[in-house]
Amino acid sequence: MKIGIFDSGLGGLIITKAISDRLPTYDTIYYGDTLNVPYGSRSPEAVLNHTQAAMDVLFAQECQLIVMACNTANASSLQKLQQTYLPRTYPDRRILGVVIPTLETAHERQYTRIGVLATQSLVSSKVYEEELHKINPKIQVFSQSCPLLVPLIENDGLKWIDPILQEYLEPLLQNNVEAIILGCTHYPLLKTHIQKFLEKTSIELISQDEIIPDKLADYLVRHPEIEGSLSQEGRHEFFVSDLTDAYSKTAHYIYGQDVPLSLISSSL
Ligand code: DGL
């Protein structure tokens, strides 16, 4: 059985690479729903339907557990899928989210004013605010939706990113945040661009590719019944729901090397 990693598009390749660097022997399958990206501007119902179809794809490919890397999918789908779909269809499998582990990290680092950069859908869901307040009601969260970032990244548009980033970061800077969570799978690609705007500040970037691999390793230690069923031949497969030359190029750019993408369609 394998570890699945799901994202709405290709941004999740960043976290996939970080996971296979941290846990190189475990077999992984990536699934990017490139046919339906971006999720960030869709309704929660549409995201839930697409995400459930993606879980079906990965479980059919013998995933024992799936890391739901897409923050937008986490917000509208994770709880519902864990509470109803999973017990009904795959009671022995697991879906792990990325939002709560990210917030635990922010809390452990004792920040009290936290900025979040995320998609429109994720900001509207208020999931970061609600979950952070459960951990510590004193923490203040300032969320900024960034609808232009994913389309620019997926379409080779980084040369236009700086003035747009400046506009998105400005409200967070004015609110004197101590840390900024990159609340979208694609944003770690922008770390150096964002750092330029934070040079004269002590604001820390909280990036999921630096958090989730350790959290996953820790989860596997705590759950030997799951870990024991995972195959460890160091094989990494990559599936997408739509395959074009442009996607292959973007995948190469994001992953830092050629990615052998294969087409697989979901039931939607
Ligand atoms: N992957 C999504 C996330 O992490 C963002 C991309 C999209 O809009 O589909 O929130």
Within 6 A (CB) of ligand 1 lie 7-9, 11, 37-40, 70-72, 119, 122, 150, 184-186
Verify whether residue 184 is a known catalytic residue: yes
- Tens of pLDDT, residue by residue over 198-243, are 998 999 999 999 999 999 999 999 999 999 999 999 999 999 999 9
- Looking at the fold, whether 93 and 215 belong to one and the same domain comes out as yes
8 A C-beta contact, residue 39 and residue 6:
no
User: Which tokens sit at 264?
Assistant: 């697989």
- Looking at the fold, whether 175 and 133 belong to one and the same domain comes out as yes
8 A C-beta contact, residue 6 and residue 54:
yes
End-to-end CA distance of the chain: 25
CA-CA distances (angstroms) from residue 150 to 96, 145, 183?
A: 23, 11, 12
No. of helices (H) and no. of strands (E), the chain:
14, 10
**Given CA atoms 33, 157, 22, 198 in this order, what sign does their dihedral have?**
negative
Ligand 1, atom 2, residue with closest C-alpha = 70
**What gap in Å lies between CA 165 and CA 185, rounded to an integer?**
16
User: Among 5, 8, 34, which residue has the most ligand 1 atoms within 8 Å of its CB, making it the best to mutate?
Assistant: 8
- Looking at the fold, whether 133 and 86 belong to one and the same domain comes out as no
Q: Indicate which atom in ligand 1 lies nearest the CA of residue 70.
A: 4
Instruction: Please give the pLDDT value at position 154.
Output: 78
- Looking at the fold, whether 224 and 202 belong to one and the same domain comes out as no
Verify whether residue 63 is a known catalytic residue: no
Domain range spanning residue 238? 2-97+210-263
Question: Residue 182: inside a domain, yes or no?
Answer: yes
8 A C-beta contact, residue 70 and residue 12:
yes
Domain count for the chain, please give it: 2
- Looking at the fold, whether 200 and 216 belong to one and the same domain comes out as no
**What gap in Å lies between CA 52 and CA 46, rounded to an integer?**
10
Show which of 208, 234, 253 is a domain's final residue: 208
- Say which of 184, 189, 190, 206 is annotated catalytic: 184
- Looking at the fold, whether 160 and 242 belong to one and the same domain comes out as no
- Looking at the fold, whether 133 and 51 belong to one and the same domain comes out as no
- Tens of pLDDT, residue by residue over 10-62, are 999 999 999 999 999 999 999 999 999 999 889 999 999 999 999 999 999 99
Question: Residue 141: inside a domain, yes or no?
Answer: yes
User: Among 15, 39, 190, 211, which residue has the most ligand 1 atoms within 8 Å of its CB, making it the best to mutate?
Assistant: 39
- Looking at the fold, whether 39 and 76 belong to one and the same domain comes out as yes
Helix (H) or strand (E) holding 205, with range, is strand 204-207
- Looking at the fold, whether 55 and 103 belong to one and the same domain comes out as no
Question: Residue 268: inside a domain, yes or no?
Answer: no
Domain of 64: which CATH number?
3.40.50.1860
- Tens of pLDDT, residue by residue over 138-186, are 999 999 999 999 888 877 788 999 999 999 999 999 999 999 999 999 9
